[in-house]
Amino acid sequence: MKATPAIIEAENIKKIYKRGAEEIAAINGLSVAVNRGDFIAFVGPSGSGKTTLLNLLGCLDNPTSGKLTVNGRTVHQDGRGLSESQLTRIRRELFGYIFQKFYLIPTLTVLENILVPFAFFRKEGASQDVLPLLKKLGLENRMNHLPGQLSGGEMQRVAIARALVNRPEVLLADEPTGNLDSERSREIGKVLRQLNEEEGLTVLLVTHNLELAAMARLTISLRDGRIA
């Protein structure tokens, strides 16, 4: 990893789920530091805890124990974490998310879907003029189309554009190519790589797709909630 200060730092974090009397450690004492400009792929078998880790690093969930620091702010320490509204404020300043499913609003056009985050929050410096972003993602000719008129790859690119409209520092991608064929998966991989190289965007990726994982600068394998 680079020597630049970590934007996310996890120290011995655990995430334990209770199922009846049984306790399942999805993340079991894991430490990781993510620096600005990193492109990290988390890989591992199903149940290894990679999605749980991404959710914890992206402030979508609180760890059960350990210390998590995001952009210099302690998000969780010794079993005490921030409230949901405090986490939301961190999320909207720092993170953009894309998921396996695209969750676009079917009655809004591509352009409208991309602008949805502005209905709730507009980060300082985020421009209403999204044409450069649309061009970068090859969507400039599709902006007035409805999601139902797009291919899977195009829909994921719209989801990426929506995640980037507020100029996040970190893009978290959870199985972004899980619903796409290999050609479209490569296309998305290239987009992520390009955003990391040209924009300096920090990208955290969870994937089963080894070809996609290979496009990251660093691959971290997980097994049983720990770095393998």
Partner 1 sequence: MKVKNSQKVGLFHIAWKNLARKKARSLLTLVGIALATWVLISLFGFNSGYKNSLDRDIDNLGFQMLVVAKGCPYEAATLMLKGGTGLKYMNEDVVKLIVREPEVESVTPMLMQVVFDPNKGQSGGLTAFLGVDPASFPKLKPGLSFKQGGWFTDPAALEVVMGYEAAELEQREVGDLYLIPEKEIELKVVGVLERSGTQDDGTIFLPLQTLQKIFGQEGQLTSVGIKVRKETNLAEFEEKMFKLPDVQVVSLTQVKTTIMTLVSTARILVLSIALIAILISIMGVINTVLMSVMERQKEIGILKAMGALAGDVFKLVWLETSLLCLLGGLLGAALAVGTSKLTEYLIRRLLPFAPSGGLISINAGLILTAIGAVVLLGLVSGIYPALRAARMRPLEAIRSDEE
Contact residues: partner 1, CB under 8 A: 55, 58, 60-61, 84-85, 88-89, 91-92, 95-97, 99, 101, 103, 105-108, 111-112, 115-121, 128-131, 134, 140-141, 143-144, 162-163, 166
Nearer to partner 1, 7 or 111 (CB): 111
CA atoms of 70 and 94, how far apart (whole Å): 9
| Nearest distance in Å: CB 123, partner 1 | 9
| Nearest distance in Å: CB 190, partner 1 | 23
Give the count of beta carbons closer than 10 Å to the beta carbon of residue 46.
Answer: 7
CA atoms of 140 and 156, how far apart (whole Å): 15
Strands 218-223 and 73-77 come out as unpaired
Nearer to partner 1, 91 or 157 (CB): 91
| Nearest distance in Å: CB 176, partner 1 | 14
Nearer to partner 1, 83 or 183 (CB): 83
- The enclosing H or E element of 64 equals none
| Nearest distance in Å: CB 135, partner 1 | 10
Nearer to partner 1, 95 or 215 (CB): 95
C-alpha separations of 191 from 7, 160, 177, 188, 201 in Å: 22, 9, 12, 5, 11
